[in-house]
């Protein structure tokens, strides 16, 4: 028999805040975290707004441990804070003994943005001012002198995993996956598999990302993926609505503590939910587009249901990838119809990206925590800014107002650039 995997702790850093229940209540009220971008001067960009984490101070989360992590990049800082919250939420900070050789880290994190900008903008700016020529050897020499090696190192996507392992002294496996918008869902799914097969007993898993910087916004604008409702930014993220025109860029982190059931029970842990199903597939299509029939997402959901030993009618809530782009929402709806059949119109489907934007690599982990809270409180969050139905998107998207629902099983989808599709299913714990 495969070992059962439960979730015993969770924490997040989001554009709506970092306190678990404060953020949850804000979501249930349909609060938008979108505002004009403040992390850089975006006035001349096609999109001038985003969903930013506000007033973030890592030292408040880490206390005396802060000095060891003070050079971490912004996304790693989010991961550290969310991990500390999840660790405390699981009661691991009060555990007298933990076999840290059997405790690992598995994250889905993106690259850090600040240091790349430091290198590119500082070096090129200094070269253009001081050299004013095209002497590339001289430019390279100047860049070498300017580059801060620690700040450049902290840009690497695996740094968050390393920092978290160091923070808690974890000596088990330490991984990072970067599969775009599916990364943290994939990380949690693969971490679950590690515990199931007996590699470890506990894993800190989830993801973190920020792409709210000039290169990130420029790239997504050039892909025509971002909303450009600059005159009404708080209603710009409108998944499944007929007038949707792209997603809103967000940032943050979500972390869960995954634990083998017997290990959790022996230490008297509070069990929040059980991970019962995981599916991962590739579209094998175009790098920037989902296959039009939703074959990858369909396969991921079916694989997750089979892994969980569940039928479609057993699912009570779907937390959609729901980005707010024309193609994603239409094709995800199509995939849900293919998997759930007649039940598709009976199951509530919502997208919290309507409130806090798209957290890219961190999105899946934050959305999984949302599913756990929906199971806990028997209520599902709304899809806000929904006003005009789209005939291509004909499911129950819980428009604008949260809804009480008997949720015991929740499914969460994450689809990423490159054709990555990941689905994870959690259920209310029962011994």
State how far the Cα of 117 lies from the Cα of 410, in Å rounded to an integer: 39
Looking at residue 121, its pLDDT comes to: 54
Looking at residues 265-273, what average pLDDT do you find? 97
State how far the Cα of 306 lies from the Cα of 284, in Å rounded to an integer: 22
> Is position 358 annotated as part of the catalytic site?
yes
Domain ranges of the chain: 5-113+155-417, 114-153
Q: Between 154 and 70, whose confidence is greater?
A: 70
Q: What is the maximal distance between C-alpha atoms in the chain?
A: 71
Looking at residue 320, its pLDDT comes to: 98
C-alpha dihedral, 188 to 189 to 191 to 194, nearest 10°: 170
Phi, psi of 122 (to 5 degrees): -65, -45
Please provide the average confidence, as pLDDT, over all residues in the chain: 93
pLDDT at residue 129 tops 70: no
Choose, from 233, 316, 358, 371, the residue flagged as catalytic.
358
The matching CATH number, chosen from 3.40.50.300, 3.40.50.620, 3.40.47.10, 2.60.40.420, for 5-113+155-417 is: 3.40.47.10
> Is position 181 annotated as part of the catalytic site?
yes
Please report, in angstroms and rounded to a whole number, the separation of the first and last CA atoms in the chain. 15
Looking at residue 197, its pLDDT comes to: 96
User: Using only C-alpha atoms, what is the Rg of the chain?
Assistant: 21
> Is position 263 annotated as part of the catalytic site?
no
Choose, from 181, 233, 371, 393, the residue flagged as catalytic.
181
| Residue listed under structure tokens 């409702």 | 229
Q: Which two tokens stand for residue 132?
A: 């004013």
Report which secondary-structure segment, H or E, holds 261: helix 261-266
Choose, from 69, 263, 316, 321, the residue flagged as catalytic.
321
Paired with 308 in beta bridges are none
Q: Which two tokens stand for residue 354?
A: 């309507």
Phi, psi of 105 (to 5 degrees): -135, 135
Q: Which two tokens stand for residue 91?
A: 């009661």
Reference 2, options 198, 263, 271; nearest CA is 198
Name the pLDDT band for 161 (thresholds 50, 70, 90): very high
């Amino acid at each position: 028999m495969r070992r059962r995997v439960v979730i015993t702790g969770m924490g997040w850093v989001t554009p709506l805040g970092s306190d678990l229940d404060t953020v949850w209540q804000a979501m249930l009220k349909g609060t938008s975290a979108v505002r004009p971008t403040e992390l850089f001067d975006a006035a001349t960009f096609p999109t001038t707004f985003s969903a930013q984490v506000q007033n973030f101070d890592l030292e408040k989360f880490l206390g005396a441990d802060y000095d060891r992590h003070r050079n971490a990049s912004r996304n790693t800082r989010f991961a550290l804070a969310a991990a500390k919250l999840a660790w405390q939420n699981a009661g691991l900070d009060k555990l007298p003994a933990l076999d840290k050789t059997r405790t690992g880290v598995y994250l889905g994190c993106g690259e850090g943005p600040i240091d790349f900008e430091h290198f590119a903008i500082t070096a090129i700016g200094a070269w253009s001012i001081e050299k004013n020529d095209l002497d590339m050897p001289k430019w390279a020499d100047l860049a070498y002198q300017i580059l801060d090696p620690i700040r450049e190192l902290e840009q690497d996507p695996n740094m968050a995993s390393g920092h978290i392992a160091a923070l808690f002294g974890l000596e088990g496996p330490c991984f990072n996956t970067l599969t775009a918008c599916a990364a943290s869902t994939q990380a949690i799914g693969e971490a679950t598999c590690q515990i199931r097969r007996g590699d470890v007993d506990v894993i800190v898993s989830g993801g973190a990302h920020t792409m709210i910087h000039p290169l990130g916004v420029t790239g997504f604008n050039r892909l025509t993926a971002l909303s450009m409702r600059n005159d009404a930014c708080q209603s710009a993220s409108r998944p499944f609505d007929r007038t949707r025109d792209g997603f809103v860029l967000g940032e943050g982190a979500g972390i869960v503590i995954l634990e083998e059931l017997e290990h959790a029970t022996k230490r008297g842990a509070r069990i929040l939910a059980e991970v019962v199903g995981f599916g991962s597939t590739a579209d094998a299509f175009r790098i920037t587009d989902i296959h039009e029939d939703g074959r990858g997402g369909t396969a991921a959901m079916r694989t997750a249901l089979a892994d969980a030993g569940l039928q479609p009618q057993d699912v009570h809530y779907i937390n959609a990838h729901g980005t707010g782009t024309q193609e994603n929402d239409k094709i995800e709806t199509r995939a849900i119809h293919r998997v759930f059949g007649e039940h598709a119109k009976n199951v509530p489907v919502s997208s919290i990206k309507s409130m806090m934007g798209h957290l890219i690599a961190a999105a899946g982990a934050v959305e999984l925590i949302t599913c756990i809270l929906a199971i806990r409180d028997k209520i599902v969050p709304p899809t806000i800014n929904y006003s005009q139905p789209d005939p291509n998107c004909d499911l129950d998207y819980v428009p604008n107002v949260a809804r009480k629902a008997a949720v015991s099983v929740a499914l969460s989808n994450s689809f990423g650039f490159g054709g990555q599709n990941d689905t994870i299913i959690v259920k209310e714990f029962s011994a």
